[in-house]
Amino acid sequence: MTELAVAEPRTRSLARDLVALTKPRIISLLLVTTIVPMFVAGHPSWTLVLAVFVGGYLMAGGANAVNMYIDRDIDDRMSRTRLRPIPSGRMQAREVLAFGVLLSTTATWLLAHAANVLTAGLALAGFYFYVFIYTRWLKRSTPHNIVIGGAAGAFPPLVGWAAVTNRIDLMAVYLFLIIFYWTPPHFWALALLKQKDYGRAGVPMAPLVWGERETMRQMLWYTVILIPLTVLPFAFGGLGIIYLVSALALGGLLLADIVCVMRAEVWTKPAWRLYKFSLLYLALLFAAMVVDRGLLA
| Closest by Cα among 134, 131, 72 to 104 | 131
Q: What is the pLDDT of residue 47?
A: 97
Whether 10 has a pLDDT exceeding 70, the answer reads no
| Closest by Cα among 189, 138, 137, 131 to 155 | 131
- What band does 46 get if pLDDT is binned at 50, 70 and 90? very high
Domains, the chain, in order of start with CATH, read 11-167 (1.10.357.140), 169-297 (1.20.120)
| Closest by Cα among 157, 148, 119, 164 to 31 | 157
Whether 201 has a pLDDT exceeding 80, the answer reads yes
Phi-psi region of 154 (alpha: psi -120 to 50; beta: other; left: phi over 0): alpha
Q: What is the mean pLDDT of residues 22-29?
A: 90
Q: φ and ψ at 90, to 5 degrees?
A: -80, -25
Whether 8 has a pLDDT exceeding 70, the answer reads no
**pLDDT tens figures, 93-143:** 999 999 999 999 999 999 999 999 999 999 999 999 999 999 888 888 898
Count of CB atoms situated within 10 Å of the CB of 232 = 18
- What band does 295 get if pLDDT is binned at 50, 70 and 90? low
**pLDDT tens figures, 256-283:** 999 999 999 899 999 999 999 999 999 9
Q: What is the pLDDT of residue 297?
A: 43
Q: What is the pLDDT of residue 81?
A: 79
| Closest by Cα among 126, 156, 152 to 53 | 156
